[in-house]
Chain A
Amino acid sequence: MRTILILIKKEFLQVFRNPLLLSILVVAPLVEFMIFPFCADYEIKVLNIAFIDNDRSQISKDIIHSFNSSDIFVSKGLLDNKEEADEMMKHDKIDLLVEIPSNFEDRLYNNEHTQIAVTANAINSVKAGIGTGYVQEIIGGYMQDFAALHTPANMQGLMSSSSMSMMQRKGDRKQMPAMPSTLIRPNTAAKVNISNIYWYNEQMNYKNLIVPGILVILVTLIGCYVTALNLVREKEIGTIEQVNVTPIRKWQFLLGKMIPFWLLGMAEFGAGLIIMKFIFGISVQGSIPLLLGITAIYLFVMLGLGFFISSVSENQLQSMFIVLFLFIVFVLLSGVFTPTEGMPGWAHHINYLNPMSFYIEVIKKIILKGSAFESVMTETIVLSVMAVIINTGAVLSYREASK
């Protein structure tokens, strides 16, 4: 025991002697943790839109005007021609273009076929899909209101539907032009409204998922990375030979190296939970001791992995690239940033080997849904098994390497 304590002391001395490393290990992750959740937001909040109005009638003006009532569209104004629009789209000045054809109003009143063209910059296909959907809703809503105004029988239906519809804002109806009722009325198209109901996260706080996710990334970074380089560094500068000739047992040596970083990781995780509560207002719904217990196991998996890599590689550059590779794979497959639902089957199979995806599951369940031990039992068992296997592997390969 005393041997281990001395080793732990040595390791801490090394960390504290290097103020730069200390600040990278302690300060940087916490600062990043406070900042980055604000960036990780998939929601499309701004869509730049421009219009070409070849009709310049009352209706076309009203349609363009009706986009003002939506918070998401930022109008870049009326453009003169298609070339100007193409140029703007090429330079990412606009995401969407709405073109109203000439004689739009006349044709509408004469019940002749006419169409509005919407062009979207579809490099970001999600954004384009959402954008064109909103445009269709706004124009469709306007046209329906317009048509309904000329069909008294439909007024009733309109009233009840527009109060339910999400996108159809109150402002729309106010801007409806007062048309003389003698005009020929266009046909009415039926419309299905969608009313959204939100469960399990009523405040719609997108940070709920991403905040714990980023915390996990940072804890993993500390756990796996530092240890992966630690042992191989001793190898590279030759001090490992000195350790090997002392009567220290291999597992004592590894434990002595692990515990300091394990403590560091736990402290970081604790600090992360506090930040989560006070800055992001997310408090742990489930039991905190349970959460800490599973985190402890998870950190042992990551530390063990780091040591395993460290003992099989020849120099820091090698172990760094192996860790980097695994780290990127772990993060991007774990579903922190992109939904795992969209991944093909074989990616799900790889995920069975990914400790981070199990841990993320635990975090989600305990922090967000307040699940008890029973519902995270599978993950806990898997992580424990992983911890045992990987640490045994690390001791064995280190023993092999130092022969």
Chain B
Amino acid sequence: MILKKEFIHIFRDTITLALVLAMPIALVLLFGFTISTDIRNAKISVLDQSKDTQSKTLVNQLSASGYFQVVSYPHNELEIDNDFKNKGIKLAIIIPPSFEGNLSKEGSATLQVINDVSDLNVASILNNYVRAVVQNYTADYNDNSSRGSAFDITVKMLYNPESNSVYMFVPGIITLIMVLVTALLSSITLAREKETGTMRMLLITPVKKIHIIVGKVIPYMIISFISTIAILIISVTVFKMPINGSLLMLLFLCIIFMLTAASFGMLISSISRTQVDAMMITMMGLFLPTVLLSGFLFPLNSMPMVFQVLANIFPAKWFILAIKDVMIKGSGFFDIWLYLLILFVMAVVFIIFSLSRLDKRN
């Protein structure tokens, strides 16, 4: 009954339905293409004090890498400062005098890399690129001058051989969108009944409270599930995310997570009186924590201990761990059962709590 009523509500408001279904898809497409910590063609300056064959080779390798674009060749540090301020360079490299000579005679030379650390994140990403290019350069140099040592180091990138940053961001974006859409929808629906006063009417009917809640949430879970499937299809076809685990496992995981998100939404609506309240709590309580504390953008184990502990109470962290395992590592049920259990227990706790709040109202 309640289920039917809710479906009628939903289908009567076609604009909202269209928004709810189209929005996640638009967001995933937009961010799959834009959110990345890869930087291409960063502008740099090179102050080459030796101007010999080796220094020129190095500069060529820097621009050939695709990471950098050498926009100016300053003559002193003052000009470098000027480049930072007016030419928008992100990094400057100083090659010392007699670079080639030092390399061949002493076996080592030192580059100076000047970073603009007013944006530390960009600086540290670019530094890693410089390091990689210089490492390649050194390896080439050693090969050509046959100074190569007897040993070398092979590097294997497990699970993501091409070091594709999509592997990191797409699961995060899926999570962010799923949690927001599901939690928002379900938190609003109860708050709306409260605000317009129809909640009282529902409560005096002989329908059980649990049925009201379940009946109200299921339709929105179905809508979220449809958009989740759409998001998954986009991730696989457009962003080439693999699904190495079983598809059933993945869908099951998504359903459990939606249940958790929806019950979190119920919890919010049970403590709020109006839709504005419900929405603000969802935004404050879910958006920033999901972005910041889920390990989606920022490495969790670099955070102060308090936040590593705090992160555990947000469902998003567990879902991201599980979805990455299933999609990328191909983990099965026995690898992720703990995450599933945690998400499920969270859902149960949220539902019990919101039921008890509903009781108190009467």
Chain A contacts to B: CB under 8 angstroms: 18, 20-21, 24-25, 28-29, 32, 35-36, 38-46, 89-92, 104, 107-108, 111-130, 132-133, 135-137, 139-140, 143-144, 147, 154, 156-158, 160-161, 164-165, 186-202, 204-206, 208-209, 214, 217, 221, 225-226, 229-230, 233, 236-237, 313-318, 320-322, 324-325, 327-329, 332-333, 337-339, 341-344, 347, 364, 368-369
Report the minimal beta-carbon distance from B165 to chain A, rounded to whole angstroms: 5
Contacts of B239 on A, CB cut-off 8 Å? Answer: none
CA–CA, A92 and B280, complex, Å? 35
- Name B276's contact: one of A36, A120, A229, A344 (CB within 8 Å): A229
- Name B273's contact: one of A20, A128, A144, A161 (CB within 8 Å): A20
Does B158 lie within 8 Å of A127, measured CB to CB? no
* Chain B 99-123 residues near chain A, CB threshold 8 A: 102-123
Report the minimal beta-carbon distance from A49 to chain B, rounded to whole angstroms: 13
CA–CA, A278 and B120, complex, Å? 21
Does A339 lie within 8 Å of B125, measured CB to CB? yes
CA–CA, A91 and B132, complex, Å? 28
Given contacts A43-B124, A121-B159, A156-B106, contact A342 B38 (CB under 8 A): yes
- Name B116's contact: one of A161, A190, A199 (CB within 8 Å): A199
Report the minimal beta-carbon distance from B319 to chain A, rounded to whole angstroms: 15
Closest to B118 in A: A200
Contacts of B349 on A, CB cut-off 8 Å? Answer: none
Does A42 lie within 8 Å of B298, measured CB to CB? yes
Does B115 lie within 8 Å of A197, measured CB to CB? yes
Contacts of B42 on A, CB cut-off 8 Å? Answer: 341
CA–CA, A104 and B148, complex, Å? 17
Could you jot down 21 A-B contacts, CB within 8 Å? Answer: A18-B277, A39-B292, A46-B302, A119-B158, A122-B157, A122-B167, A129-B128, A157-B108, A158-B108, A189-B149, A191-B107, A200-B116, A208-B120, A237-B195, A314-B13, A320-B279, A322-B19, A337-B291, A339-B121, A339-B125, A341-B122
Does B335 lie within 8 Å of A90, measured CB to CB? yes
Contacts of A320 on B, CB cut-off 8 Å? Answer: 184, 188, 275, 279
Report the minimal beta-carbon distance from B226 to chain A, rounded to whole angstroms: 15
Does B138 lie within 8 Å of A108, measured CB to CB? no
Interface-centre pick from A92, A233, A328 (highest chain B CB count, 10 A): A328
Does A90 lie within 8 Å of B329, measured CB to CB? yes
Given contacts A18-B274, A190-B145, A344-B33, contact A123 B168 (CB under 8 A): yes
* Chain B 222-278 residues near chain A, CB threshold 8 A: 271-277
CA–CA, A38 and B279, complex, Å? 25
CA–CA, A158 and B109, complex, Å? 10
CA–CA, A202 and B90, complex, Å? 16
Interface-centre pick from A41, A46, A214, A315 (highest chain B CB count, 10 A): A41
* Residue tally, chain B, CB below 8 Å to A: 119
- Chain A at the B interface: mostly helix, strand, loop or mixed? helix
Closest to A20 in B: B277
Does A230 lie within 8 Å of B276, measured CB to CB? yes
- Name B149's contact: one of A40, A147, A200 (CB within 8 Å): A147
Interface-centre pick from B115, B167, B168, B284 (highest chain A CB count, 10 A): B284
Does B149 lie within 8 Å of A192, measured CB to CB? no
Contacts of A126 on B, CB cut-off 8 Å? Answer: 37, 125, 128, 165, 168
Does B158 lie within 8 Å of A120, measured CB to CB? yes
Contacts of A230 on B, CB cut-off 8 Å? Answer: 276
Contacts of A128 on B, CB cut-off 8 Å? Answer: 157, 160, 163
* Chain B 171-222 residues near chain A, CB threshold 8 A: 176, 180, 184-185, 188, 192, 195-196
Does A339 lie within 8 Å of B37, measured CB to CB? yes
Does A332 lie within 8 Å of B124, measured CB to CB? no
Does A115 lie within 8 Å of B153, measured CB to CB? yes
CA–CA, A108 and B118, complex, Å? 45
Does B147 lie within 8 Å of A189, measured CB to CB? yes
Closest to B143 in A: A189
What 6 A-B pairs come out closest when comparing CB atoms? Answer: A157-B106, A122-B157, A122-B160, A125-B163, A45-B302, A161-B108
Closest to B191 in A: A316
CA–CA, A320 and B281, complex, Å? 13
Flag whether B353 is at the interface (Cβ < 8 A).
Answer: no
Flag whether B301 is at the interface (Cβ < 8 A).
Answer: yes
Does B167 lie within 8 Å of A125, measured CB to CB? yes
CA–CA, A313 and B147, complex, Å? 71
CA–CA, A44 and B35, complex, Å? 19
Flag whether B358 is at the interface (Cβ < 8 A).
Answer: no
Does B151 lie within 8 Å of A143, measured CB to CB? yes
Does A116 lie within 8 Å of B153, measured CB to CB? yes
CA–CA, A369 and B90, complex, Å? 15
Given contacts A122-B159, A123-B167, A123-B328, contact A21 B280 (CB under 8 A): yes
Q: A133-B132, A233-B275 are in contact. List 13 more A-B contacts (CB 8 A).
A: A35-B307, A39-B298, A41-B298, A128-B160, A133-B128, A139-B153, A192-B58, A198-B115, A205-B120, A226-B280, A233-B274, A317-B188, A322-B19
Given contacts A24-B277, A206-B120, contact A135 B153 (CB under 8 A): yes
CA–CA, A332 and B302, complex, Å? 22
- Name B142's contact: one of A143, A154, A189 (CB within 8 Å): A189
Does A44 lie within 8 Å of B299, measured CB to CB? yes
